[in-house]
Structure 1
C-alpha cells in the first residue's frame, strides 16, 4: 500500500469536505483514506437472485424482486398521507407503500414499467406487501452493472452520520470513490513465496472484493487474505520484539543451584512437586543460564502451586548472590503472598520483607536499609516497590502477579533497579486460551501448570434455581455442623450498584433469619465499607469466629481460608465465566471436599445457560477460558482492553484459531531462517516493517 497516499486526511476525498469529515472522525474514527478503506462492511445483503411473489414470506430478510408497476395513488390527507402502488410478476401481486417522501417518489414512478424492487417483505390482510422498497428501473444496462445482482455491503453508521446522508448507502458511495481513485496505489506487502504457499489473492483484489464482492467465493478469498495479513503482522511484531529483546537485554547468569534451594527442596517443601511444577522450574532454570533477560509468563489455575514455583526460582537467584521481589496489584494479595512465603520458609531461613502503602514510616526506613545492604533477600509488595527511593543492592529476579493490572511503564521501572535488568516471571491465575496467549503475550515465553497438587479434591459444582433455596440452606447447615465455613457472594456491577446493594441487604436479612444468633455468626463485606472495617470482618472469618461470609465480589482475590468448603454464588447468571471460576477457586484449598453452588433465576439467556453448564461440567480453567473466548470474543476477556494488541478488524482469535497457529509457525520459520530480514525475498517485509513500525515502541516488552 502506498502509505503516503492513504494517510491523506479524509476531507480531501471527493464527496467528503470539512463538515462530513468532522462527523466521520467523531462517529467512526475515520481520519484518513486508510481508515475508510479499513471500515469494512459488517454484513452483506444478497442481491444475487430475484424472488417471485409466491416465494416470499414474512420471516425473510431483505429480498430482491422483479415486477411490473401497474398502478399508484396517494391516499389520505396531510399527516396520514401515503403512497400506495401495485406491482405484479407472473406469480402474483405485491402492494408497495411509502409514508415519507411521498410526492417525490410518486413523480418518479412510471406505471407499465418493470422495476427492480428491494426491501423487507411483509403481509397485511393476507396480501404481500413491502414498505419503503428501493426502486430501480430494470434495463439491460442495470442487469450488467455491478452492484445490482451482487452481494451488497452494509456499513455501520449512526444517527448523527445519517443527518449528513452518510447511512450505509452514503458510506458505500465514498468507499466506491476511494477505490476507483486509489486502487492502483494498493501495493503488495507480503512476499510472493507466502502468497503462493498460502494461496492468497493479491491485496488490491482483496480490498476491492471485501467492499464490493463479485460473488460469494471472491468475498471468502478477500476475507481470508485480510485475516491472514492482520494476524501475520501482529505475530510478526510480537516475535520481532522477542528477537530484539534477546539481542538487546543481557541477563544475569544463575550458574548454580545452591544450598538454599536444596535445603528448601529436601527439608521444607510441604508436599511433593507435581510434574507440571517440575517442568516449569526446569524451563526457568534454563532461561536463567542463557545470559539473556528471561521474560516468561506462568499460567496456572488458583491453587495449582504457582507461588511455590516462584519462591523456588527466587531461591536460585539468592543462591547466585541476587535479591528477588514479588509485585502484587493489591495489598490483600501482597499480604497473602507474604504470609504464604513466610509459612513456607519459616523465620530462620532467609529474610523476607513486606512493603505496601500501609507500611509505617519507621518500618520502611529499616526495610530500605536492609535492601540496600543486601540483608533483605525477598521483598513482597504493591506499587510501592517501584518508587525511586526503593533501592536494591543487587536485584536479580522479579515476580509480577496478575500482570494485566500493571502498565508497561510500571514494569519497566523495576528493570531499572539494576544495571543488568532482572529476570522477569509474570504470573496469572486467569487461564488464557492458547491462541489468546499467543497474541496478548506473544513476545513472552509461556509456561503452564496444568495439574493440581496431589490430595486436592476437585470442587463439586451444582446449579440450583431460586426455587431450590431451602435445599441450599439445608446443605449449608450440614456443612457448618461439620465445622466448615461458607462464602455467599452477590454480584456488584457499577451500572446497577443501588439494586445490587439492595439485593445484598435483602440477602443478609434472609441469611440472618435462616441462621440466627447465637448458633450462627455472619461476616459482612461489601465495597461501600471502609478498608479497616472490611479487614476486621475478613479477619473474623479467617479466624473461624464467623461461619458465613456474605460479600460482594471483593473476596475474588486474596482471601485464603482452607476451612471454607462452600462457595454460594447468587445471581450467578450475571457473572462472566472467568469471574465464576475465580470465585470458585476461593474454596477447595484444604483437604476436605468442597462445593460450589450456582444460584440463578429461571430466566436464563442462551449464553447464561452455557456459562453455568460449563461450570458444572468442568474444573479445568483452560477449558473454561476457551468457552469464555467463544462466548465473549477476545475484546472482552480480562486484560485485553488495555493491551492495545487486539485491534483486529477482520480476524477473530476465537474463531480463527487454526489460521493463527499456522501464521505463528510461518513467522517463527521466517525469523529462524532470516532474523535480520536480509534475504532478497524478505525485503518487502523489511520495507513494510519500516512503515508499520513508525510510532511503535519496539523495546517495550514483558
Structure 2
C-alpha cells in the first residue's frame, strides 16, 4: 500500500502496533516514524562498543559470545544459561532461564543483538532474560548462523516463545542502525517498521527549492531520510545528518515564526500613560532613581502596551537587576487604564514573596477599600493551591469582580475556575519553569476579543541560540545594569577534603551571625522521605553516581546540635505545609531567624536585605546558572555578599571546573553559556513540550548557532506571507513530522 507522511501509523502497521509506537516512543504518523532516527550504527562484523550505561537503563547491544555455560539453579529446579559476551568495549554477562533452545543458538563466537535492562554485580554489567537475536557475521555470512529466531521473554517467566522470525538479510548490510528502544519495542521492531514506511512512501516532497538546497550545500530531503536509515557509507550518514539538522532547525523556526506573526492584525489592550495614576504615585515614592537600563526597558514595554497590538516579550536580566520593579510599573499602567494583571510564579514560596514585595512597595496604594488606603489604590491578591477554602473563594471573587488589580499565583491560576473581570497583562516569572502551553493558558481568558499582553521574565541569562529557539516567538528586552548599591558577590569553592577550609567556612558563618547578619544554607535534597539519607547516598555511590550528599534535614540537625546551634536556626523546604513555609519565610524576612537551612525554594525572588552569606552544600549537584541564581539572594541590602560552594568533588574534575567558573565570574551571561555546554540542550528544548517527548534528534543549541540563525531568516521570509503554510505544503508536513502534529498545531495557534 502507498502512504503519505501525514497518514496515521495505524493504516500502515495496524492499530495494535501503531498504539505501541505511540505509547512507547511517541510516534503517531508515517512522517514521524521515518524521522525517528538511529542514535548510532554498528558496522558489519563489528561490535557496538557502547559506553558504560547506568543501572536500570534499557540498552541494545551488539556483542559476540565468548563463553556459554549451562548451570543448575540454586533456589529452584531447572537450568539457566550464563553467557559471557563482549560489546567491543567491555565484557558483560547475560542470564537466561530454562534456555535449552537458546543454548543451541548462542554458542561461542556467535554475534548477537541483545536488548534488556542493565544491572551490575561486582561491578560487572549484566542483563537478565533479555530479548535477543543472532546476527549475520561478515566472516561467515547469513548461512553461517542458520535460521535465527527472535525470542520475546515474558517478564520472569520460565519459558520463552518464538515470535516473528527476523529476515537476516535486513542485517546483512554495511551499517546496522540502532534506534532508541524500550522493553516493549525493540530496535529491530522499529527498523522493520521504518523500512515498511520507506517502501510505502513515494519520494518525500522537499520543503526547500533547488536553489535553497544548492545555496546551503544540502542533499534532497528524500535522499537524506533514506540514507539515515539505510546508509552504505559513512559519507552518506554525514550528508544525511547535515540535511536533517537543517530540517529540524527550519521546522522549529517556522513554528515559532507562526506564533510570532500570529498576533499581527489582532487587537490588544491600548494603554497609554495616565497622569496622576498608580504608576506616577509609585514613581514619586521610590527612594532611588531607576537605572538607565530600567528606563530603557520600561520604554520598550510601554511602547508596545500603547500600540494596540498584543505584546509578547521576554524580559531577561542579571540577578538583582530590578526586573520586578519594571514589571510592577508596567502592571500599574495597565491598571490605570482599567485592566487587571496576573502574575504567575512557579512556587508558593516565590508567589508569597512577590505578594510581600509588591504590597510593601505599594503600601497604601495596594489597600483599596481599607481605611488606610491611598488615592488612587488597587488590591493585590494571592492565590495558591494550598490556601484554605475561604481564602481561595475571596481571591477568586476579587479576580472575577475586578476588585484586585493584580492577582499573584502559582499553577492554581491556570485552573478553569479562575476567571477575570478584564485581564489585560499576563506576567510569567521564571519562564523556564513553565512550558509554552502553560504560559498561554491565562492569555486565553480574554474579553471582547482583546488579546492580553504577555511579559515573561527570567533571571537566568539566555544564550543567543536558546533565545532563538525556546523564546523565538518573543521580542527580547535585557537588563544588565545593577541598581546603585548592589555590590559584586565574593564566591569561594570550599573542598570538604581540606579540613582547614571547611573549618573556616563555618567560622565565617558564625562571625556573620554574631555581627547581626543572616545566612542561607542551601541543600540539594530534602531528606525527609522516610529513607535514611545516608542509605540513599550509599546506593547512589554504589551506582557510580558520586559522593554521598547532605540533605537539608541532616544539615539542620548537624547545625542545631553543633556550635552554631546557639543561634536561631530554622528549616525550609517544599514539603512543609504552606502556612509553615510562609511563617518561616516571614520570620526570616523580619530578621527573627539567623540561619535558614533550605532547599532551592529560595532560588528566585526571595529578597532579604540583611542576608549576606550563603553556603551551598554539595554544590556540584547544581547547574552553573542555578548556582548564580542562588547566590543572588545575598548582598541585596548594600552589604557585601559572600557565597561558599561546599563540595566533595575532586580537583581537575569537570564538576570542579564548573564550580571554579562560578567562583571566577559574576557575569550571568557568560555563566549561562558555560551551563549550556555542561548540560547540553535536552532539557532546554524540553521547554517547548506540550505533552510530547522531543523529536529533535540532531539540532544542537551549542554547535548549530549558524544553522539556527540561517533557518530563522528563511522562516521569517516565508511565514509572514503564508502564515497557514497553505502554499508551502511540504514545509507544513516537515513541521508536523519533526515536532509532532499536536505540538506543531499548538505552536501555531494564536
Report the TM-score when normalising by structure 1.
Answer: 0.76
- Write the distance in 2 (CA, Å) between the matches of 1:457 and 1:289: 36
2:456 to 396, 406, 426: 426
2:679 to 623, 632, 645: 632
Q: What does residue 396 of structure 1 align with? A: 424
- Write the distance in 1 (CA, Å) between the matches of 2:581 and 2:391: 24
Q: What does residue 315 of structure 1 align with? A: 332
Q: What does residue 76 of structure 2 align with? A: none
What is the correspondence of 1:104-115 to structure 2 with a 5 Å cutoff?
none
Asked if structure 2 preserves the Cα contact closer than 8 Å seen for 1:331 and 1:356, the reply is no
**2:39 equivalent to 1:42:** yes
- Write the distance in 1 (CA, Å) between the matches of 2:417 and 2:211: 54
Asked if structure 2 preserves the Cα contact closer than 8 Å seen for 1:301 and 1:621, the reply is yes
**Greater relative contact order structure (CA < 8 Å, 6+ sep):** 2
1:430-483 deviation line (CA, Å, top 9, x unaligned)? 333332232223222222222322321121111111133211112212222322
1:253 to 270, 274, 285: 270
- Write the distance in 2 (CA, Å) between the matches of 1:388 and 1:602: 47
**2:247 equivalent to 1:219:** no
Asked if structure 2 preserves the Cα contact closer than 8 Å seen for 1:356 and 1:383, the reply is no
What is the correspondence of 1:586-625 to structure 2 with a 5 Å cutoff?
586-602=633-649, 606-625=653-672
Q: What does residue 647 of structure 1 align with? A: 695
Q: What does residue 155 of structure 1 align with? A: 179
Asked if structure 1 preserves the Cα contact closer than 8 Å seen for 2:218 and 2:239, the reply is yes
Q: Secondary structure at the match of 2:593?
A: coil
Q: What does residue 416 of structure 1 align with? A: 445
1:670-696 deviation line (CA, Å, top 9, x unaligned)? 3356667688xx565467679999655
Asked if structure 2 preserves the Cα contact closer than 8 Å seen for 1:336 and 1:558, the reply is yes
What is the correspondence of 1:190-205 to structure 2 with a 5 Å cutoff?
190-205=208-223
Asked if structure 1 preserves the Cα contact closer than 8 Å seen for 2:383 and 2:395, the reply is no
Q: What does residue 670 of structure 1 align with? A: 718
- Write the distance in 2 (CA, Å) between the matches of 1:544 and 1:560: 12
The alpha-carbon distance between structure 1 residues 268 and 663, as it changes in their structure 2 partners (threshold 3 A), is same
Asked if structure 2 preserves the Cα contact closer than 8 Å seen for 1:443 and 1:701, the reply is no
- Write the distance in 2 (CA, Å) between the matches of 1:370 and 1:260: 21
Structure 1 position 487, deviation (Å) = 1.0
1:269 to 286, 301, 323: 286
Asked if structure 1 preserves the Cα contact closer than 8 Å seen for 2:342 and 2:406, the reply is yes
Asked if structure 1 preserves the Cα contact closer than 8 Å seen for 2:414 and 2:438, the reply is no
**2:131 equivalent to 1:134:** no
- Write the distance in 2 (CA, Å) between the matches of 1:178 and 1:694: 18
For the aligned residues, what is the CA RMSD? Answer: 4.7
Q: Secondary structure at the match of 2:531?
A: helix
The alpha-carbon distance between structure 1 residues 191 and 496, as it changes in their structure 2 partners (threshold 3 A), is farther
1:5-30 deviation line (CA, Å, top 9, x unaligned)? 673647956xxx89877765654455
- Bigger mean CA deviation after superposition, 692-701 or 377-386: 692-701
Structure 1 position 156, deviation (Å) = 3.7
Q: Secondary structure at the match of 1:259?
A: coil
**2:209 equivalent to 1:209:** no
1:300-353 deviation line (CA, Å, top 9, x unaligned)? 233121111112212322343434343334443233223322333332253332
**2:361 equivalent to 1:344:** yes
2:621 to 570, 574, 587: 574
Asked if structure 1 preserves the Cα contact closer than 8 Å seen for 2:279 and 2:333, the reply is no
**2:353 equivalent to 1:356:** no
Q: What does residue 577 of structure 2 align with? A: 530
Q: What does residue 159 of structure 2 align with? A: none
1:346-377 deviation line (CA, Å, top 9, x unaligned)? 32253332232577888888877877776654
Structure 1 position 245, deviation (Å) = 2.1
- Write the distance in 2 (CA, Å) between the matches of 1:360 and 1:76: 65
The alpha-carbon distance between structure 1 residues 537 and 663, as it changes in their structure 2 partners (threshold 3 A), is same
- Bigger mean CA deviation after superposition, 311-320 or 289-298: 311-320
Q: What does residue 7 of structure 1 align with? A: 7
Q: What does residue 590 of structure 2 align with? A: 543
Q: Secondary structure at the match of 2:263?
A: helix
- Write the distance in 2 (CA, Å) between the matches of 1:503 and 1:134: 52
- Write the distance in 1 (CA, Å) between the matches of 2:604 and 2:108: 69
- Write the distance in 2 (CA, Å) between the matches of 1:514 and 1:471: 15
- Write the distance in 1 (CA, Å) between the matches of 2:645 and 2:108: 64
**2:348 equivalent to 1:328:** no
Q: What does residue 156 of structure 2 align with? A: none
- Bigger mean CA deviation after superposition, 314-323 or 208-217: 314-323
Unpaired runs of 5+ in structure 1?
A: 51-58, 65-73, 84-97, 110-115, 119-130, 140-144
Quick check: which one's helix share is greater?
Answer: 1
- Bigger mean CA deviation after superposition, 587-596 or 617-626: 617-626
Q: What does residue 562 of structure 1 align with? A: 609
Q: What does residue 439 of structure 1 align with? A: 469
- Write the distance in 2 (CA, Å) between the matches of 1:543 and 1:177: 68
Q: Secondary structure at the match of 1:195?
A: helix
- Write the distance in 2 (CA, Å) between the matches of 1:495 and 1:210: 48
Structure 1 position 595, deviation (Å) = 1.0
- Write the distance in 1 (CA, Å) between the matches of 2:310 and 2:67: 80
- Write the distance in 2 (CA, Å) between the matches of 1:375 and 1:256: 21
- Write the distance in 1 (CA, Å) between the matches of 2:709 and 2:303: 25
- Write the distance in 2 (CA, Å) between the matches of 1:697 and 1:312: 35
Q: What does residue 280 of structure 1 align with? A: 297
The alpha-carbon distance between structure 1 residues 233 and 35, as it changes in their structure 2 partners (threshold 3 A), is closer
Q: Secondary structure at the match of 1:669?
A: helix
Asked if structure 1 preserves the Cα contact closer than 8 Å seen for 2:5 and 2:29, the reply is no
Structure 1 position 201, deviation (Å) = 0.6
The alpha-carbon distance between structure 1 residues 171 and 466, as it changes in their structure 2 partners (threshold 3 A), is same
- Bigger mean CA deviation after superposition, 479-488 or 364-373: 364-373
**2:705 equivalent to 1:657:** yes
- Write the distance in 2 (CA, Å) between the matches of 1:107 and 1:619: 59
